[in-house]
Amino acid sequence: MNSSPDATASSSWRIEPVGDRCLLVAFGDRVDADVNRTVLSFTAWMLEHPLPGVVDVVPAFTTVALHYRPEAYAGSASTAMPFEQLAAQVQAVLARGVPEVELGGRTVEIPCCYGGEYGPDLEEVAQRCNLSTDEVIRLHGESPLVIYTFYFAPGNPFAGGLDERLALPRRQTPRTQVPAGSVAIANGLSTIYQLAMPGGWNLIGRTPWNLFDLKQDPPVRLQLGDRLRFVPVTPAEFDRLYEARA
């Protein structure tokens, strides 16, 4: 974390209760690099300067959830509810501003086998974007993708920065089963399905990598702020690089 002018002091935010053990801080309604940097900056600050009772800090695209123990405020002289006491502390932190976080700086090259059985939507994506399949593959690989959050399953990354020429919504009809490792795009983002599961994103390829392994330390292969570069591989290379999932 650097000491550059703070990112959150001049930003808007709202603080909301989520049940009686979670407080949600929302920094906007759009998913983009600026909002995500604010989310990561606030998350880093909360992890380095924990507030009383907070047991977990969970960043998402535009929000940060603070899970806390209400009993931590039982002995307080204040008559305010635990949420109100924690919210007041969060409000004070945000009003002062937190330093802008330095993103990880890692560039991770991820092997991806595009098209065919690995990416059954590649041709449709190309048609809808008025591109060739080779152009879709090139633009996807050259997009300045940065991991904004993890979602759906452990190690399942969502990265922003997809080239605008690949802008497509989710599929109208979701699939009941998407193969593990599928590389997909939708709504200006790219993701990798870590596990086989239902999904409605446009499948353009598949990676042989396993992104979550409890036998590894840390178990999550990628990190928030990592820059992703997808590198095309052949089916034979896919088989050679394949990593089984537990």
pLDDT tens-digit series, residues 22-78: 999 999 888 888 888 899 899 989 999 999 999 999 998 899 999 999 999 887 777
DSSP secondary structure letter of residue 187? T
Q: Which of 50, 67, 96 is the last residue of a domain?
A: 96
- Residue 140, helix vs strand vs coil: helix
Residue 5 in this model has a pLDDT that exceeds 60? no
Q: Residue 183 maps to which CATH number?
A: 2.40.100.10
Residue 175 in this model has a pLDDT that exceeds 80? yes
Q: Which domain holds residue 153?
A: 107-241
**Same-domain check for residues 79 and 188:** no
Residue 11 in this model has a pLDDT that exceeds 60? no
Residue range 183-231, pLDDT digits in tens: 999 999 999 999 999 999 999 999 999 999 998 888 999 988 899 999 9
Residue 89 in this model has a pLDDT that exceeds 70? yes
Number of domains in the chain: 2
**Same-domain check for residues 125 and 58:** no
Q: Which of 35, 68, 96 is the last residue of a domain?
A: 96
Share of the chain above pLDDT 90, in %: 71
Residue 3 in this model has a pLDDT that exceeds 80? no
Confidence of residue 151 (pLDDT cuts 50, 70, 90): confident
**The most confident of 2-11, 20-29, 147-156, by mean pLDDT:** 20-29
Q: CB under 8 Å, gap of 24 or more: what pairs does 121-129 form?
A: 121/171, 121/184, 121/202, 121/203, 121/204, 122/203, 122/204, 122/205, 124/202, 125/166, 125/168, 125/185, 125/202, 125/204, 128/168, 129/165, 129/166, 129/167, 129/168
Residue 55 forms part of a structural domain: yes
**Same-domain check for residues 90 and 126:** no
Q: Which of 56, 77, 96 is the last residue of a domain?
A: 96
Confidence of residue 104 (pLDDT cuts 50, 70, 90): low
Q: Which residues lie closer than 8 Å to 50 by C-beta, 6 or more apart? A: none
Are 65 and 23 spatial neighbours (Cβ–Cβ below 8 Å)? yes
What local confidence, expressed as pLDDT, does residue 105 receive?
66
DSSP string, 48-102: HSPPTTEEEEEE-SSEEEEEE-GGGGTT-S--S-HHHHHHHHHHHHHHH--PPPP
Say how far apart CA 230 and CA 144 lie, in whole Å. 10
What local confidence, expressed as pLDDT, does residue 100 receive?
82
Confidence of residue 12 (pLDDT cuts 50, 70, 90): confident
What local confidence, expressed as pLDDT, does residue 4 receive?
38
The helix (run of H) or strand (run of E) holding residue 197 is strand 197-199
Are 168 and 128 spatial neighbours (Cβ–Cβ below 8 Å)? yes
**Same-domain check for residues 56 and 145:** no
**Same-domain check for residues 157 and 84:** no
What local confidence, expressed as pLDDT, does residue 10 receive?
41
